[in-house]
Amino acid sequence: MGSPEDQAFGLLSEYANGFMVSQVLFAACDLGVFDLLAQAPEPLGAAAVAARLGTSGHGTELLLDACASLRLLAVETQAGQAAYANTALSAAYLVSASPTSQLDMLRYLGRTTYLCWAHLAEAVRQGRNQYGQAFGVPSGDLFAAVYRSEGERLRFMRALQDVWRVHGRRLMATFDLSTFPVICDLGGEYLPVARASRCQAPPRRPALSVPGCSGALARECLSLYPGCQVTVFDLPEVVLAAKTHFSPPEGGPIGFLAGDFFKDPLPEADLYILARVLHDWTDQACSQLLARVHQACRAGGGVLVVESLLDSDGRGPLPTQLYSLNMLVQTEGRERTPAQYHALLAAAGFRDIQDGGTRGLYDAILARK
């Protein structure tokens, strides 16, 4: 236990060293440690890992031991030699072939987000994102900064879908969306052919629009609500990249529409999903967007907002407070409480506002026109 002073110093050290923990995780993913161990028929020693990854024996041993203490690896001693294997956590989330792999998000966090966080104090001082400081790019047009190169755009698009591999199904099942049957996809790139072929029937009801790029939530909608149709509405460069790199099946239940949701006509639909979109923007921009959605929405239709929600008093949970700071360093927005989203939705004319109430890392709010 230790004295209160010891405990306080322990906590301080834990916080101060938090970035080292993240870097251990990022480096082990970048080097391919978890993929290598997933493919090995038996646990491997540090020398064998180093030989196969082309890394130093010394550095590899230190990294693997740190991973073991973080429970990212299991270690057993055979004839006095340590041998490493994946744990359930790393097998589920840190191996590329896993259906719940988070590797693309971790890559984005390590190579992009981390660099913006290096300027957190400046972001707090200025009250604005740090693309200028971190990457030397102007951020007057937010997504021109986010998508400052094709590589960065693809990295972002791939990263964003990872969390929905884990939470997407639960979120899309929070409300019964079967009365909004035609679904608008944000990247049908990962739609398995088998699922696509189950949804080939032409839409019988109006479209459900999903602004965004990943397509993973739309895929869950297609799986939960067979017969639906999905339209992906996103910026032209995102739609082009999705079509070029991820080859959605032509004529399937997923279609793309390129445009700027602040300026261009929105497709008529009976449900619009705004997943991690409002948190990118100021209240003023959110109001503008929601008013446009309300105008385009059919009577009886609605909007599904998917976001990480702050507690009603804003005092937690910590992960959402940290995401809010992340919005500060990377966007123009913030995370909000349910009441703040309710107020934005009501001001745009939406009614019957319902909370999903799951209080997971992400939650859904459904509102009707």
H-helix segments, the chain: 4-16, 18-31, 33-39, 46-53, 57-69, 88-93, 103-108, 114-117, 120-126, 131-135, 142-146, 150-172, 193-198, 216-224, 236-246, 283-296, 318-330, 338-347
Which residue is associated with the tokens 């602040």? 262
- Only segment of 38-46, 124-132, 211-219, 240-248 that touches ligand SAM (CB under 6 A): 211-219
Cα–Cα distance measured from residue 111 to residue 134, given in angstroms and rounded to the nearest whole number: 11
For the bound state, the minimum distance from the C-beta of residue 236 to ligand SAM, rounded and expressed in Å, comes to 9
> Out of 167, 279, 294, 342, which one is annotated catalytic?
279
* Cα angle: 102, vertex 105, 111; to 5 degrees: 135
- Only segment of 27-35, 248-256, 276-284, 316-324 that touches ligand SAM (CB under 6 A): 276-284
Q: Does 280 bind ligand SAM (CB under 6 A)?
A: yes
CB-based closest residue to ligand SAM: 212
* Nearest residue (CB) to ligand SAM, 158 versus 342: 158
List beta partners, residue 84. Answer: 44, 75
* Nearest residue (CB) to ligand SAM, 145 versus 277: 277
- 306-325 residues in contact with ligand SAM (CB under 6 A) are none
Site string for ligand SAM, 44-63 (x = CB under 6 A): --------------------
Task: Please select the residue that binds ligand SAM; options are 64, 83, 183, 186, rule is CB under 6 A.
Answer: 186
Using the CB atoms, write b or e for 136-152: b if 16+ within 10 Å: eeebeebbebbbbeeeb
C-alpha closest to that of 185 among 256, 125, 131, 250 = 256
How many residues lie near ligand SAM (CB under 6 A)?
18
User: Is 331 within 8 Å of 338 (Cβ atoms)?
Assistant: no
- The verdict on whether 279 is a catalytic residue reads yes
Q: Does 277 bind ligand SAM (CB under 6 A)?
A: yes
Which residue is associated with the tokens 């693997």? 64
- 106-145 residues in contact with ligand SAM (CB under 6 A) are 143
Task: Please select the residue that binds ligand SAM; options are 160, 183, 184, 367, rule is CB under 6 A.
Answer: 160
Question: Within 10 Å of residue 224's Cβ, how many Cβ atoms?
Answer: 16
For the bound state, the minimum distance from the C-beta of residue 293 to ligand SAM, rounded and expressed in Å, comes to 12
* Nearest residue (CB) to ligand SAM, 143 versus 323: 143
- 70-89 residues in contact with ligand SAM (CB under 6 A) are none
Site string for ligand SAM, 231-270 (x = CB under 6 A): ---xx--x---------------------xxx--------
Cα–Cα distance measured from residue 251 to residue 229, given in angstroms and rounded to the nearest whole number: 11
Crossing angle (nearest 10°) for helices 338-347 and 283-296 = 50
> How many Cα atoms are found within 13 Å in the side-chain-facing hemisphere of 20?
10
3-state class (DSSP) for residue 214:
coil
First-to-final CA distance of the chain: 56
Site string for ligand SAM, 138-157 (x = CB under 6 A): -----x--------------
* Nearest residue (CB) to ligand SAM, 48 versus 207: 207
Instruction: List phi, psi (to 5°) of 109.
Output: -60, -40
Instruction: Report in angstroms the alpha-carbon separations of 2 from 5, 13, 15, 164, 353.
Output: 8, 15, 18, 41, 49
Q: Does 363 bind ligand SAM (CB under 6 A)?
A: no
Task: Please select the residue that binds ligand SAM; options are 98, 102, 129, 214, rule is CB under 6 A.
Answer: 214
For the bound state, the minimum distance from the C-beta of residue 147 to ligand SAM, rounded and expressed in Å, comes to 7
Task: Please select the residue that binds ligand SAM; options are 275, 303, 304, 328, rule is CB under 6 A.
Answer: 275
* Nearest residue (CB) to ligand SAM, 30 versus 237: 237
Active site residues: 279
> What is the contact surface with ligand SAM in residues (CB under 6 A)?
143, 160-161, 186, 211-214, 234-235, 238, 260-262, 275-277, 280
